[in-house]
Structure 1
Amino acid sequence: MTLHSLDRQNHARMRVAVLDDWQHIAETSADWSALNDRADVEFFHQPLGPADDVVEALEDFDILLAMRERTAFSPEIIARLPRLKFFNMTGRRARGLDAMVRRGITVSITGGGEDVKDTAEHALALMLSAVRRIPEGDASIKGGSFLENVQPSFRMAGRTLGILGLGLIGGHVANYCRAIGMNVTAWSRSITPEKAAAAGAEAVSVDELFSRSDIISVHLVLSPETTKFIGESELSRMRPGAILVNTSRAPLIDEPSLIEALHSRRIQAAIDVFNEEPLPVDHPLRSAPNVVLTPHVGYGTREMYQIFYRNSIENILAFLDGTPIRQYSPDRHSM
């Protein structure tokens, strides 16, 4: 007997929590009618807060649909959600789901990581915003001034881009910036001159990348080896006025060292990812000079959300039928 037929026999309806819908996009991204026919679905449009608040909000739900890297689910929180039977995480890769699997919770993920152009485009947008001082210009005009509060920019053509992590996203960024006329250098653990050349880049050492680049775009996979990969030593090698762009993972950069470098006005930065999200209102990055900040929207296009939520609904319906699909495997999907 399948889980769905058992539910019908017992006249029970599963409760589904759609979490992290901070942009109010979930309901219009997919057709929820098939799931609404079989379960009670509730959408959460605000962050849930600390662990006790997460447990209080979700302890009566059987199924959770979460957006990767928004609400955190520690093993301690999972242990306090005894009704949880199925957990769905958006994206092809995820962290922190092994504890759920060990507790017998079925875990599925979605597509959406196959096409990385969304994040690559956002990296380019951050570069342009920082180089051309777009936030400063916007704030100056809206504040009643004009050009007097805006620093001069520099021409990107002829300058050097350093890509830290020449994978799929880094490869797209290389193509975009070569089209602008930039010279592209790159480093990754497995890079070879041939691999770099295939992406239109020059393979260099880490030290050379930091010392030569006018813009550095970070696209490393987060691991114990890459945590705080960029620290005080690396930042000190950057050229005066060079721009560090991070659309990958916040822990790749040592945050206190970055904040110090920004306050000294030696470098600039453009950041889309943070160690704590939402970023606390009193966080020093909010008041730091020389930085452009966006609220982790690198992947957040309408097209990507459609993939996330359509796949999520398919995953939940398959689970209710007793035939889970896209199941999470720690060996294949963790990062």
Structure 2
Amino acid sequence: MTKPKVLISDKMDPNAARIFAEMGCDVDVITGKTPEELKAIIGQYDGLAIRSSTKVTKDILEAATNLKVIGRAGIGVDNVDIPAASAQGVVVMNTPFGNSITTAEHAIALMFALARQLPEADLSTQAGKWEKNRFMGVEVTGKTLGLIGAGNIGSIVASRALGLRMKVVAYDPFLTPERAIEIGVEKADLDTLLAKADFITLHTPLTSETRNILSRENLAKTKKGVRIVNCARGGLIDEAALKDLLDSGHVAGAALDVFETEPAKESPLFGTPNFICTPHLGASTTEAQVNVALQVAEQMAEFLTTGGVTNALNMPSLSAEEAPKLKPYMALAEKLGALVGQLVGDSVKKIAIEVEGAAAQLNQKPITAAVLAGLMKQYSQTVNMVNAPFLAKERGLDVREVRHEREGEYRTLVRVTVGTDEGEKAVAGTLFGNGQPRLVEIFDIAVEADLDGDMLYIVNTDAPGFIGSIGTLLGQSNINIGTFHLGRRQAGGEAVLLLSVDSPVSDEVLAKAKTLNGVRLVKALKFA
């Protein structure tokens, strides 16, 4: 079996390459390539491991014909075109926890530097001055810290601040009251935080919602004498407005590790009194650099060799432990999606994926993604679990997930119901004891069938002689029947016939089948 091939295109700890090799990947370390040089070689690789230097643009992705995963050793993925990667079916991963402590500690360090004016005092003292009365600092004990963003890094900052006997107020739309109690913070809206905080630290990604979250208007709402620290992302603060408020004295101090434009070779903030800056050092410790390199190598290798998905930004995560359990369910789900996609086609307006019994105990997101991958194959042959949800959203498809803990007629069941102009239509499947997918229901008719290879789907009126006539037609057309699967609503009523055949059925044979007595619908199906 050919080993997956990985390219490390940015400088990172050499142990990353060792981990790739130990986990069954071939790895090349080629750094410093120009975009054109990278574009020329990227088609050879299944995986691309990067830090912040490599820019993975749409142009690069179009040349990456074999690429399956991009791993960013670090948190930020501003240098990856995630929509383009998703459309092409490439998983994008980051390592959100490898440098969390390092970044949190940097924020705390900058907070202390602001509180005690350490950089200015150092410069003054080393210049031979002894300006003891000039540098009157403030204590952090008893002060209120306002966290904008209470995720992984924000919660670490909160724990350090609480250890310093600070009060912590947090604004985060995703922070639940229970989680706020757990990490010891007061949950508040943004205006309340701005009015209360003596210090503000930011720990949120840069999105359309968070860009300029500390705008001129919001900065004006802060408590006079506030000190602001940003070790998260440039663009969260209106830098020109911050400069004006520092000059006016409304903001007593500000410390930025990140800027809207980087590298920040010039800024209106440079030289402003009570302003401290560092060159994006939040993750720059020896420990953090090693951690993120090792973590991204483990995640990517696990995905390429076992299918485990960790810290993915554009598909559901799937641990190495979960992957073997979910693999047969995902195969079943993809076949069910492919079945409804081929039978119903463009008329699908909405889709519900239901899991029941043993399936309800599992992570449903990969099952849903697999159904969508099967469904979307009618639109694109390059569709997979990564880009299928993207394509479904692009087409305006309403997707719903339903979980039933109960166990029904089958120990485990996956049902896919699609809404069409003609009403709802459902198919359902289960796993047999050997883990093999099996169709058990099609459009309210019970039927047991394998879904594999070339098949023929026929809806007809249940009547004597029909099976003989379709068998004769296929025999005369030199098409060998593999399996017969029958189902009907009632004797003499609507019946369904699913045939597996050893070769594709031509349009000519389909046309002849449609002329057989009692036939209502004939359709050729194809399953991977």
Classify the TM-score, shorter chain.
0.7 to 0.9
User: Relative to structure 1, is the Cα distance of residues 275 and 214 closer, same or farther in structure 2, using a 3 angstrom cutoff?
Assistant: same
- In the TM superposition, what are the counterparts of 1:198-237 in structure 2 within 5 Å? 198-237=182-221
- Which amino acid in structure 2 is aligned with residue 18 of structure 1? S
- Which amino acid in structure 2 is aligned with residue 274 of structure 1? F
Is 1:16 aligned to 2:3, yes or no?
no
Contact 1:185 1:209 survives alignment (8 Å):
yes
Q: Deviations over 1:173-228 (max 9, x none)?
A: 22222222222222222446654343323333322211221101112343322222
Residue 269 of structure 1 corresponds to 254
Deviation at 1:58, TM superposition (A): 5.6
Residue 75 of structure 1 corresponds to 58
Q: Deviations over 1:54-90 (max 9, x none)?
A: 33466434454212x5544332454466786753222
Residue 108 of structure 2 corresponds to 124
- Which amino acid in structure 1 is aligned with residue 21 of structure 2? A
Relative to structure 2, which stretch is displaced further, 258-267 or 77-86?
77-86
TM-score where L is the length of structure 1: 0.75
Contact 1:140 1:150 survives alignment (8 Å):
no
CA distance in 2, matches of 1:111, 1:276: 23
User: Relative to structure 1, is the Cα distance of residues 130 and 332 closer, same or farther in structure 2, using a 3 angstrom cutoff?
Assistant: farther
Contact 1:18 1:65 survives alignment (8 Å):
yes
- Which amino acid in structure 1 is aligned with residue 14 of structure 2? E
Residue 427 of structure 2 corresponds to none
CA distance in 2, matches of 1:90, 1:227: 24
Residue 11 of structure 1 corresponds to none
Note the aligned Cα RMSD (angstroms).
Answer: 3.6
- In the TM superposition, what are the counterparts of 1:1-335 in structure 2 within 5 Å? 2-4=1-3, 16-19=7-10, 21=11, 26-27=13-14, 31=18, 34=21, 38-44=26-32, 53-56=34-37, 59-61=40-42, 62=45, 64-67=48-51, 70-79=53-62, 87-91=70-74, 94=77, 96-104=81-89, 106-113=90-97, 116-147=100-131, 151-191=135-175, 195-267=179-251, 268-279=253-264, 281-314=265-298, 325-326=308-309, 328-332=312-316
More strand by share: 2
User: Relative to structure 1, is the Cα distance of residues 261 and 72 closer, same or farther in structure 2, using a 3 angstrom cutoff?
Assistant: farther
SS in 2 for 1:163: strand
CA distance in 2, matches of 1:250, 1:154: 27
Equivalent pairs counted in the alignment come to 310
Unpaired segments of 5 or more residues in structure 1? Answer: 8-13
CA distance in 2, matches of 1:304, 1:222: 21
SS in 2 for 1:170: helix
CA distance in 1, matches of 2:289, 2:160: 23
Unpaired segments of 5 or more residues in structure 2? Answer: 318-385, 387-528
Q: Which has the higher contact order (CA 8 A, sep 6+)?
A: 1
Aligned residues: percent identity? 28
User: Relative to structure 1, is the Cα distance of residues 97 and 294 closer, same or farther in structure 2, using a 3 angstrom cutoff?
Assistant: same
TM-score where L is the length of structure 2: 0.50
User: Relative to structure 1, is the Cα distance of residues 310 and 28 closer, same or farther in structure 2, using a 3 angstrom cutoff?
Assistant: closer
Contact 2:144 2:196 survives alignment (8 Å):
yes
- Which amino acid in structure 2 is aligned with residue 270 of structure 1? A
SS in 2 for 1:123: helix
User: Relative to structure 1, is the Cα distance of residues 152 and 72 closer, same or farther in structure 2, using a 3 angstrom cutoff?
Assistant: farther
Contact 1:166 1:188 survives alignment (8 Å):
yes
SS in 1 for 2:246: helix
Deviation at 1:304, TM superposition (A): 2.7
SS in 2 for 1:88: strand
Contact 2:7 2:27 survives alignment (8 Å):
yes
